[in-house]
């Protein structure tokens, strides 16, 4: 049968990205406690299209991704993109995976266990001489407002927030490490299962550890930078305010090639 995609196109318009978007697929990722974790990802896969090709071969994206689905460690993700690039005779290939990563977490007093889901993402691009890969982790947290605590005679308002860290791949690391850094910087972590004794403990512990959204970002930034493992990273936090009709937001970026990166 004729390969229509390979027909020559005379319009002289190269395309920056063509491919598949929003593909849902079961995958396996590395898990520190259990070695392997089964989860489901939403997948985007693209390649550039030279000006002389009419179209790309969409089936090849799925065919190659299917071969890698049972071992999508961070470096294997880049190998998968390189296979896509070469198969499609492209100059560059791009991809992203967004998936829930599950951890079993014990309540602080009762010790009862529940499962927590954290939104994670792999994003990468490959060219003949250049590769880029980042991992992002988002964790829910609780914060108590320092200002509210300072001015109120009857407690302080608190809220749930999301802290997202994105790091550029350097030495090997576990997703759990980034989750731990985020949760330790909050007024309190968030849990899926709590009894009354746990709620009492968390409420009082958070009240004794108030944090602005700016505090969250700075504390996470400092802990990641101290490890010296990532050439670039970003930290952002959003608090879903309980007494304001808006969210509070802060972010910070680090690049080892730029001196004087702000805290």
At 212-236, the pLDDT tens digits run: 999 999 999 999 999 888 999 999 9
Contact by Cβ (8 Å): 74, 121: no
Predicted confidence at residue 171, as pLDDT, reads 84
Contact by Cβ (8 Å): 30, 76: no
For residues 150 and 235, membership in a common domain is answered with yes
Q: Are strands 113-127 and 131-144 parallel, antiparallel or unpaired?
A: antiparallel
Q: Using 50, 70 and 90 to split pLDDT, how confident is the model at 261?
A: very low
Q: What percent of the chain has pLDDT over 70?
A: 92
Global pTM reads 0.89
For residues 224 and 263, membership in a common domain is answered with yes
Q: Are strands 188-189 and 131-144 parallel, antiparallel or unpaired?
A: antiparallel
For residues 17 and 92, membership in a common domain is answered with yes
In a domain, 192, yes or no: yes
pLDDT at 210 over 60: yes
With residues binned 3-state (H G I as helix, E B as strand, rest as coil), the percentages for the chain, rounded to 5, are 25, 40, 30
- Alpha helices by DSSP H, listed for 28-161, are 58-68, 74-87, 146-151
In a domain, 247, yes or no: yes
Mean pLDDT over 86-105 rounds to: 95
Q: How many CA atoms lie within 13 A of 145 on its CB side?
A: 18
In a domain, 151, yes or no: yes
For residues 172 and 247, membership in a common domain is answered with yes
Mean pLDDT over 38-56 rounds to: 85
168: domain CATH number is 3.10.270.10
Domains of the chain: total: 2
Predicted confidence at residue 49, as pLDDT, reads 83
For residues 261 and 139, membership in a common domain is answered with yes
For residues 245 and 185, membership in a common domain is answered with yes
For residues 98 and 156, membership in a common domain is answered with no
Residue 4 belongs to what domain range?
A: 1-104
pLDDT averaged over the chain?
A: 90
């Amino acid at each position: 049968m004729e390969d229509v995609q390979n027909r020559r196109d005379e319009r002289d318009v190269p395309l920056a990205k063509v491919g598949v978007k929003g593909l849902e697929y079961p995958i396996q990722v590395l898990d520190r406690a259990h070695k392997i974790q089964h989860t489901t990802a939403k997948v985007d896969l693209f390649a550039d299209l030279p000006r002389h090709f009419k179209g790309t071969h969409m089936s090849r994206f799925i065919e190659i991704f299917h071969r890698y689905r049972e071992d999508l460690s961070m470096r294997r993700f880049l190998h998968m993109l390189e296979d896509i690039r070469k198969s499609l005779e492209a100059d560059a290939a791009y991809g992203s995976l967004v998936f829930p990563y599950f951890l079993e977490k014990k309540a602080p007093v009762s010790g009862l266990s529940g499962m927590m889901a954290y939104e994670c993402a792999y994003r990468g691009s490959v060219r003949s001489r250049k590769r880029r890969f980042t991992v992002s982790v988002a964790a829910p947290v609780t914060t108590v407002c320092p200002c509210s605590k300072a001015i109120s005679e009857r407690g302080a308002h608190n809220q749930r927030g999301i802290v997202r860290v994105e790091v550029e791949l350097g030495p090997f690391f576990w997703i759990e490490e980034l989750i731990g850094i985020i949760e330790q910087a909050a007024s309190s972590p968030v849990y899926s299962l709590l009894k009354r004794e746990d709620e009492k403990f968390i409420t009082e512990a958070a009240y004794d550890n108030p944090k602005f959204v700016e505090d969250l970002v700075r504390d996470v930034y400092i802990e990641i930078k101290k490890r010296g493992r990532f050439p670039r990273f970003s930290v952002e936090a959003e608090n879903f305010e309980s007494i304001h009709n808006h969210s509070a937001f802060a972010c910070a970026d680090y690049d080892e090639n730029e001196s004087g990166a702000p805290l």
